[in-house]
Structure 1
Amino acid sequence: MIKAELIKKGIIAILVLGTVLVLAGWRYGTLQTNRYDSREAEMALRSLLTISDETPGTLDKLVVKWQGDWISNHEEPADMAAQIADQLNIPTVNKLVENGHTVYRSVRDSEDLRIRLNVMERQTGQWYVVVQLESNDAGRERLIQLHKLCAEQLKSMEIQAQWNTALQRSLHTKESKDQLLKLTEASLAGNISMQAKERYTDVTTVAISYEAPELPLMIQSGEHQVQMQMAVHEDKEQQDTRITLGFPLITIEY
């Protein structure tokens, strides 16, 4: 029981670290993306998906997150949130109060695609906008088009937004997590130059961060740059294995 709790805490620590690093990158400019150009944003995402297609297994989850700051300049945040919701064709935003801060939120769920919008008050006149797109393999092309739309829409509204992406595949295999990791690395290395920089392992999971200069998203981690993170997780209960890729870091649960 104690060992299981330690493993769980270790996995959570990796996820929290990834989220903190990404947020730090946005705030201090160390995360580099093709900001604002919708065509470049689309092509960058397509290139990452093409690379990830070399990973074995069935694509179960694809997530793209856009997020960044917006200064009101006497404009109403409710109007800004409503405009984003309208462009994304999602329900009217609801106004909430969470931890003493105003939040405008809208969620749309369908069989192949989930869209989530949050506009959160940081301080007076300053807001943080998050648009999360999530799909399975069937909704992949629709997600790409919405990703392109986000690039256009957020730029037009002067939201200083950047994006990251993560995807997850599952498969049944007799290979151990370490063997599967090496096989996947070999497949990916046929398309990109990559060098392992950070490693985390426990009984069921191995996760590695890579420097891969050819990839379009980057974050500074310590003394080196990271463009990709990969985790292989053995799910004993479901009797399958999940491979998760994050560009530049994994920000979804293994």
Structure 2
Amino acid sequence: MQKSWIRAIIAVAIIGIIFGWVRHADARSEQEALQLLNTVKPYMMSQQQITFKYTGYYGTCAGSDSKMLQAGKKLSLAFDIPQEENLSESNSHSVYSAKKEAAPGALVTLTVASPEGSNECYVVLRLDASEHAEQSDLMNWQERAGDQLKKLGIQGQWNVMVQGFVKEQQQSRQNSTSDLVQEIAQALKGKTVESYSDPKTISLSLASDEFQTSIKSGNQTVNLQLALHQESTTGKWRLTAGTPIITMEY
């Protein structure tokens, strides 16, 4: 059941991107990312994973490897990422992929693909950071990347996620893990519009006036998602939060 729920979340993200729920990036996106991190991180131990991901469309690929490579190299230059001379393969499809360390503990990845049935190039700009990365460096990178995306006319949306194990003192002062996730939801000023739970997993989809970034799930507007999952081997609870949704496994 849990895997089906995760697949459903990822499917919503992919469908949303393809059918145009993405919005323009602006300074508001940076404020929302900072608000999410500052609200959720106090509940976590230092071992954290933070992901900034921007998805959108740029130029014309139309299934052409040469056009994909050309677009990838141009975008690499724009984002100061070393250019790759050849395409790589992902899930039996050709893609352009280039990487660079953006800051200590933070790796930026640029991916360009040509979706079947679409003339446009599909672009993913992603920053993955560990607990060793300075939050100020991450926010500065997002601001610079956002400015460059705007200059290039790439219309899309930021997806920001943070994941880490819950602090023991946070668990011990709560009656249940359900109380803990509800407390975090309240701290984000979120109203639960969808939920899922089993003995080892709790997940909430939230609507919050504090966040403008959103997707539609049926008739509901979702601005944030929270998930708690207990590891089978250690018994530790792993907290994951994302705006507008979680697109990593939890």
TM bracket (short chain): 0.7 to 0.9
Most deviating of 74-83 and 141-150: 74-83
State whether structure 2 residue 91 is matched by structure 1 residue 103: no
CA positional deviation for 1:234: 1.2
CA positional deviation for 1:220: 0.9
Superposed counterparts of 1:193-204, under 5 Å = 193-204=189-200
Superposed counterparts of 1:6-21, under 5 Å = 10-21=1-12
Superposed counterparts of 1:127-138, under 5 Å = 127-138=121-132
TM-score with structure 1 length normalisation?
0.81
What SS does the corresponding residue of 2:77 show, helix, strand or coil? Answer: helix
The Cα RMSD (Å) is: 2.9
CA distance in structure 1 between the aligned counterparts of 2:80 and 2:209, rounded to whole angstroms: 36
Equivalent in 172, 182, 185 of residue 182 of structure 2: 185
| Corresponding pairs, count | 241
CA contact (8 A) 2:226 2:239 kept: yes
Render the CA deviation track for 1:40-61: whole Å, top value 9, x for unaligned.
3322321222222353433511
CA contact (8 A) 1:217 1:227 kept: yes
CA positional deviation for 1:245: 0.6
CA positional deviation for 1:112: 0.8
CA distance in structure 1 between the aligned counterparts of 2:231 and 2:100, rounded to whole angstroms: 29
CA positional deviation for 1:144: 1.8
Render the CA deviation track for 1:201-246: whole Å, top value 9, x for unaligned.
2232111112222213211111211111111111131342211111
CA contact (8 A) 1:167 1:245 kept: yes
CA distance in structure 2 between the aligned counterparts of 1:30 and 1:159, rounded to whole angstroms: 14
Equivalent in 202, 209, 225 of residue 206 of structure 1: 202
Equivalent in 47, 50, 55 of residue 35 of structure 2: 47
Most deviating of 78-87 and 211-220: 78-87
TM-score with structure 2 length normalisation?
0.82
Amino acid across the alignment from 2:218: G
Cα distance change of structure 1 residues 205 and 157 upon mapping to structure 2, 3 Å threshold: same
Render the CA deviation track for 1:177-212: whole Å, top value 9, x for unaligned.
98133134225424x432222222223211111222
Superposed counterparts of 1:135-154, under 5 Å = 135-139=129-133, 140-154=135-149
Give the unaligned 5+ runs of structure 2. none
Give the unaligned 5+ runs of structure 1. 1-9
Render the CA deviation track for 1:1-31: whole Å, top value 9, x for unaligned.
xxxxxxxxx3332222222222333344445
CA contact (8 A) 1:41 1:151 kept: no
Most deviating of 176-185 and 101-110: 176-185
Equivalent in 24, 36, 55 of residue 25 of structure 2: 36
Cα distance change of structure 1 residues 89 and 210 upon mapping to structure 2, 3 Å threshold: same
Cα distance change of structure 1 residues 155 and 132 upon mapping to structure 2, 3 Å threshold: same
CA positional deviation for 1:105: 0.8
Superposed counterparts of 1:196-235, under 5 Å = 196-235=192-231
The answer for the alignment partner of 1:72 in structure 2 is: 60
Render the CA deviation track for 1:114-140: whole Å, top value 9, x for unaligned.
222110012574211111111123323
CA distance in structure 2 between the aligned counterparts of 1:150 and 1:111, rounded to whole angstroms: 17
